[in-house]
Amino acid sequence: MDSQEFRQAGKRMVDYVADYWDELRTGQRRPLPPVKPGYLNELMPEAPTKPDGWDRIFQDLEPMIMNGNTNWHHPHFFAYFPTACSYPAIAADILSGGISAVGFTWKSCPSMTELEMSTLDWLVDLLGLPQHFKNAAEGPGCGIIQSTASDATLIAIFAARATAVEKIKVFPSFFERVASSKVGETIKTLLSKVRQNTVEEETNECAALPYYHDPTVFEKFVAYCSDQAHSSVEKGAMLAGIRLRKLTSSLDEQLGNYALTKETLEKAIKEDRAKGLIPFMLIATVGTTSTCGVDHLEEIGPVCNKEGIWLHVDAAYAGSFLICPEFHYLAKGMEFVDSYNFNAHKCLMMNFDCSPMWFKNGAHIVKYFNVDPLYLKHEHQATASDYRHFQVALGRRFRSLKIWFVLRSLGVARLQEYLRGLDKLAGVFAELIQKDEDFELFVPKHLGLVCFRMKDKNNEENEKLCNALNDDGRIHLVPSKVHGSYFLRLSICSQFTKEEDIHFAHKVIKEIKEKEIDSL
């Protein structure tokens, strides 16, 4: 393909995508594709030995790819949480792919680094986050775009772990404070095992383990989250070799939803210290995946700060809503937070992947993540930001173009209108459920999510309903379970969903219930 052919093929591809969006409501597509595992293998030809014409490739798109695509933006797709998208975001990805730069250091693509720094500062203002998170602020705060919330959590765990190891090894005052306690004994034992010279950078090639990643020190560490935290928290802790204790959530007064309380946290810290464990981190959730519950930061934040525990906040879904002033209660207590993350690719009208993350103090992280081969060095590294020090991968995409294009092209008002729309439509569905004598809400509607179940029916019956709905295929939703109770989740996902689609979903749910449950 030469540049002339690319112009044609590219325009054709843009038209194809625009048609897909235009026809999502009126066309033949359903939320779930009609395929079974292995469907593609049966359609795949032998590996090509000579090039195919673009026409031929295009012809295969519909039967092979689109027919096996789950249509996340279909107005009747209500599963998981939204994955956002918009035309300016797609345009940004075209440009990112088009220039194909890899921005691991400032030098490797200055505009990629600097646009990321600036757009994340924009978001700090637009979302009403603490000013100390800004890249341009005087202090050590900083922001970076990660790929996913899972990545951000893993990075936060590594950063918190290294910070705590360093505190124990390097700052005797910290040690003295706890010396007479059970934790003090643990630390004394741990330190006796640690080689004396490890505070100095090791030079021996086969023992190049920096002192702040010393596993003999974090052996007794314990991290906390609520039992409602996303599975990525468990995965991150597991991979970081860290003990994770999931604390039982309880219904809160503000939202009537599941949250971690201050008392539960304080009790766990006390118990674990008495056992000689070292609590070092809490991963709180603002907008849990099951029910959109909120761990109230203004309540648990001060406990973390007082006890010297790193507070990371996973606001993957709910974080976008901060762009509307009326949802600002979600960010109460944000000043206590050490690291914060949300997925702009969930509902800020930017497609996957774009997961902004901020640190109150990013100064040490550069050290904890630093490896410095000659081929990555450059003359500006003392003064410019090298984002490779805040992630696992070296290479990185030009994700900030999405933020730049979307904020400029759509504007804040459009984003607010979209998010308010999600919440309003969820309200319409919640009202239908409340008025329906066969159903009940599991927790009050929160943001764009409604959790509901059949009244006076057990878990098995509710599960049967959920399976039957997805087999029927006109709407798609997924279930969850909290403290043993099974329920269905209806999440407003598509920007094309309208009030009539909510009534349609309710009608389908009623119909399937009558057919599959009442007939038993």
Ligand X SMILES: *Cc1c(COP(=O)(O)O)cnc(C)c1O
Residues serving a catalytic function are 230
Q: Shortest Cβ distance from residue 158 to ligand X (Å)?
A: 16
Q: Shortest Cβ distance from residue 519 to ligand X (Å)?
A: 36
Cβ closest to ligand X, residue 218 vs residue 310: 310
Q: Shortest Cβ distance from residue 341 to ligand X (Å)?
A: 9
34 DSSP β-pair partners: none
Distance of alpha carbon 316 from alpha carbon 449, whole angstroms: 14
Q: Residues 468, 454: contact at Cβ < 8 Å?
A: no
Distance of alpha carbon 271 from alpha carbon 274, whole angstroms: 5
Q: Which residues bind ligand X (CB under 6 A)?
A: 81, 148-150, 230, 232, 285, 287-289, 314, 316-317, 343, 355
Q: Shortest Cβ distance from residue 185 to ligand X (Å)?
A: 36
Instruction: Round the CA-based radius of gyration of the chain to a whole number and report it.
Output: 25
Cβ closest to ligand X, residue 146 vs residue 186: 146
440 DSSP β-pair partners: 453
Helix, strand, coil distribution of the chain in percent, nearest 5 = 50, 15, 35
Cβ closest to ligand X, residue 234 vs residue 298: 234
Cβ closest to ligand X, residue 80 vs residue 496: 80
Distance of alpha carbon 423 from alpha carbon 443, whole angstroms: 15
Cβ closest to ligand X, residue 187 vs residue 229: 229
Cβ closest to ligand X, residue 403 vs residue 465: 403
- How is the beta sheet containing 243-247 ordered, strand by strand? 142-146, 355-359, 339-341, 310-314, 278-285, 221-226, 243-247
Distinct helix (H) and strand (E) counts, the chain: 18, 13
In sequence order, which residues have a C-beta less than 8 Å from that of residue 127 and are 6 or more positions away?
Answer: 319, 322, 323, 331
Cα–chain-centroid distance for residue 150?
6
Q: Residues 380, 107: contact at Cβ < 8 Å?
A: yes
329 C-beta neighbours (distance < 10 Å), count: 12
Residue 363 in 3-state DSSP?
helix
13, exposed or middle or buried, with CB in 10 Å at 0-12, 13-18, 19+? middle
123 C-beta neighbours (distance < 10 Å), count: 26
Cβ closest to ligand X, residue 148 vs residue 434: 148
Q: Shortest Cβ distance from residue 408 to ligand X (Å)?
A: 24
Distance of alpha carbon 390 from alpha carbon 385, whole angstroms: 10
Cβ closest to ligand X, residue 96 vs residue 148: 148
461 C-beta neighbours (distance < 10 Å), count: 17
